[in-house]
A and B are shown apart, each in its own frame.
Chain A
């Protein structure tokens, strides 16, 4: 069994947008997933307590509970009674899987938006290539 973590609680720096039309609990879920995917949160990191996160973000503690439960349900975190919420120990392949999923979600949104404007996937790919080149030039 794992020992109780003695490291400090992870800083999450979540940015919520109460006006985006996306439920707050979902924004928390997405951003935690993203931070795990890009390695900012790693296995056995402790997430802030429900109370402290609610206080920091100025939201109802029940919204945090809902987000943490959803994250636990998807296996990304574990809730340990009386200890707190920790990022799960994933298998080796998990970070890239998580990354794949986050980028997949973002791509679907991009493609849906593009379709609404009448752009097909070729045009989107072309723009992605051009933007990549732009970034490389700047770098």
Chain B
């Protein structure tokens, strides 16, 4: 599949002596829509800013299309379009002005496509940025990215403040962007349910660490919630299974696993009949994985 579009090697960043991103290794191929999930302060924006080259890593390296993010060749720079937190146009900027600027800056910018995106949301060419609603602002910025001719979009919470219909439309457009031109999109979001519908892969960050990076098809096929009536049976399997998280519950235990290669049927045979195995959605998995990691950190701190 050629070289990865995004690559991070032990990518780390400190702010005031505090580690915001901690030795993240990551590789993302072309044509993929990848969801970046994590609680506030987990390091999502920091990761996107490091990848885009807006920030210098404290340690490790970030590469886009095989080139170091901070030293992209001018041609490579035009292959990347970003929508980052805190990077906003001036207050007086109107959609018309933004389109003019974008067309000037990048000859391959698809102006008429962008105009169609904006029209569908009642954005008048003369509205100033400051008088737009929160949703209109996000939509405008997202439209500028989606109409660029970039091969990679780095988007930080593009759907924040959008109503459900606009969110659906935005995510549909993101999917089309990947399908129609083989574009890659790395998108940080809290809207797990929305992104689960169209994403190919998910990466979960917590306290600066990458806890999970997997394709959604593999998770649908192999991620399961396992409920043990008593904790004893679960402890017998401690070293045998690939635990993503566990939780004590009503005298028993609930765990989240990736089904081993032997398959679900074979695993079921090895477990007591009272043990329940059921599919698990991305949202539950997200809570399981992040809570588990938090617990580990707290346990380590106590010792």
Q: Which residues of A contact B (CB under 8 A)?
A: 18-26, 51, 54-55, 58-63, 116
Contacts and interface: CB of A to CB of B under 8 A. Distances in A.
30 contacts: A18-B196, A18-B197, A18-B216, A19-B193, A19-B281, A19-B282, A20-B220, A20-B279, A21-B220, A21-B223, A21-B278, A21-B280, A21-B281, A22-B220, A23-B217, A23-B221, A26-B221, A54-B179, A55-B176, A55-B180, A58-B175, A58-B176, A58-B197, A58-B198, A59-B175, A59-B198, A60-B31, A60-B178, A60-B200, A63-B217
Interface string B96-108: 0000000000000
Contact of B279 (A22, A25, A61, A116): A22
Give the interface centre of A22, A55, A58 by most chain B CB atoms within 10 Å. Answer: A58
Contacts of A58: 171-172, 175-176, 197-198
A62 B282 CA distance: 21
Contacts of B220: 20-24
Contact of A61 (B171, B179, B193, B197): B179
B246 interface: no
A55 B179 contact: yes
Nearest to B172: A58
A18 B278 CA distance: 15
Contacts of B33: 60
Contacts of B200: 60
B272 to A, nearest CB: 13
Interface string B160-200: 00000000000110011011100000000000010011101
B171 to A, nearest CB: 8
A116 to B, nearest CB: 7
Nearest to B276: A116
B281 A60 contact: no
A19 B282 CA distance: 8
B113 to A, nearest CB: 16
A60 B179 contact: yes
B32 interface: yes
Nearest to A61: B179
A24 B217 contact: yes
A19 B198 contact: no
A61 B178 CA distance: 10
